[in-house]
């Protein structure tokens, strides 16, 4: 509770840092925020032309030629939110070592700024992706309203995991390197570029213990199939994310006194 009170007291500092970081991304850029549209637009064009037309990649039950591009972009948007929060939280204490040593402020603000910035970037990316889907002739349906819940569950899970790994990374710098390898493997064990039904039966257990599978599927179902999620499948990722989130706060509270000394 003390950490939550400290965050509330420094809420203006957190908000200003998020705004400053967003402005910094577009500093000296002629097109500015248009890059949020141009990048996914280029990806959609490549996926639609190369994968859907040339390689004839199709999603079962989807007649649209752009179906695979929509499926892939939806899954990649969910995965990008997860990896951005995890990767940035892992190095956030090391990257801001100078500020931690010289400025007195609640250290928990740093990963919260990272999480808030990632969510804002994600919101802008989703807006661009939805516009692209409209251009492709596939406007979103009512199931779109579940995306804030999906983003929240991913953010909680990624924040808890990222802060824990970030604490460990201060004391053992190999953690960040190992995590990069694990995330690459994790990506290919999550149905982002393929559908779950193409996997051999012996990999079903991997899908059942992977908390990112139902979270990525929420995006794909909402944006491609316009269907609601299977609510019972969200129990495991919600519990895992909640435990990691609370555990990250608890461990951070105990380790925060040693972080600056170690840095």
pLDDT single digits (tens) 58-71: 676 676 667 777 88
User: How many C-beta atoms surround the C-beta of residue 38 within 10 A?
Assistant: 12
pLDDT band at 35 (very low <50, low <70, confident <90, very high): low
Of 48, 73, 68, 41, residue with least CA distance to 216: 73
CA atoms 73, 74, 76, 80: torsion sign: positive
User: How many C-beta atoms surround the C-beta of residue 160 within 10 A?
Assistant: 25
pLDDT band at 205 (very low <50, low <70, confident <90, very high): confident
Please tell me whether residue 183 adopts helix, strand or coil conformation.
Answer: helix
Q: Is 157 exposed, middle or buried (0-12, 13-18, 19+ CB in 10 A)?
A: buried
258 contacts: CB under 8 Å, gap ≥ 6: none
Tokens of 162: 């990222």
Instruction: Name the CA radius of gyration of the chain, rounded.
Output: 20
State the average pLDDT over residues 37-56: 64
pLDDT of 197 over the 70 cut: yes
Q: How far apart are CA 203 and CA 188, in angstroms?
A: 12
Contact 85, 155 (CB under 8 A): yes
pLDDT band at 30 (very low <50, low <70, confident <90, very high): low
Average pLDDT, the chain: 82
The pLDDT assigned to 96 comes to 74
State the average pLDDT over residues 226-254: 89
Phi, psi of 53, rounded to the nearest 5 degrees: -90, -50
- Residue 9 has, within 13 A of its CA and on its CB side, a CA count of 10
Q: How far apart are CA 93 and CA 169, in angstroms?
A: 9
Phi, psi of 21, rounded to the nearest 5 degrees: -65, -40
- Residue 95 has, within 13 A of its CA and on its CB side, a CA count of 11
Selection from 44-53, 129-138, 148-157 with the highest mean pLDDT: 148-157
């Amino acid at each position: 509770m003390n950490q939550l009170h400290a965050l509330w007291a420094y809420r203006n500092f957190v908000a200003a840092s998020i705004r400053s970081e967003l402005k910094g991304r577009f500093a000296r850029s002629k097109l500015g925020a248009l890059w949020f549209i141009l990048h996914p637009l280029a990806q959609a064009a490549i996926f639609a032309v190369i994968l859907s037309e040339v390689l004839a990649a199709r999603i079962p039950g989807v007649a649209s030629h752009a179906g695979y591009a929509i499926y892939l972009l939806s899954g990649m948007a969910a995965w990008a939110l997860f990896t951005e929060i995890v990767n940035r939280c892992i190095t956030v204490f090391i990257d801001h070592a100078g500020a931690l040593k010289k400025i007195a402020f609640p250290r928990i603000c740093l990963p919260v700024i990272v999480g808030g910035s990632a969510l804002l970037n994600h919101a802008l990316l989703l807006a661009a992706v939805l516009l692209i889907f409209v251009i492709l002739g596939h406007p979103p349906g009512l199931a779109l309203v579940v995306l804030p819940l999906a983003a929240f569950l991913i953010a909680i899970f990624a924040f808890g995991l990222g802060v824990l790994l970030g604490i460990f990374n201060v004391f053992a710098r190999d953690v960040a390197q190992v995590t990069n390898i694990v995330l690459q493997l994790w990506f290919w064990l999550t149905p982002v570029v393929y559908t779950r039904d193409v996997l051999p039966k012996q990999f079903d257990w991997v899908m059942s213990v992977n908390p990112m599978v139902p979270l990525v599927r929420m995006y794909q179902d909402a944006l491609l199939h316009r269907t609601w999620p299977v609510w019972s499948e969200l129990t495991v990722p919600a519990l895992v994310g909640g435990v990691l989130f609370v555990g990250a706060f608890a461990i951070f509270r105990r380790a925060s006194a040693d972080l600056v000394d170690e840095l």
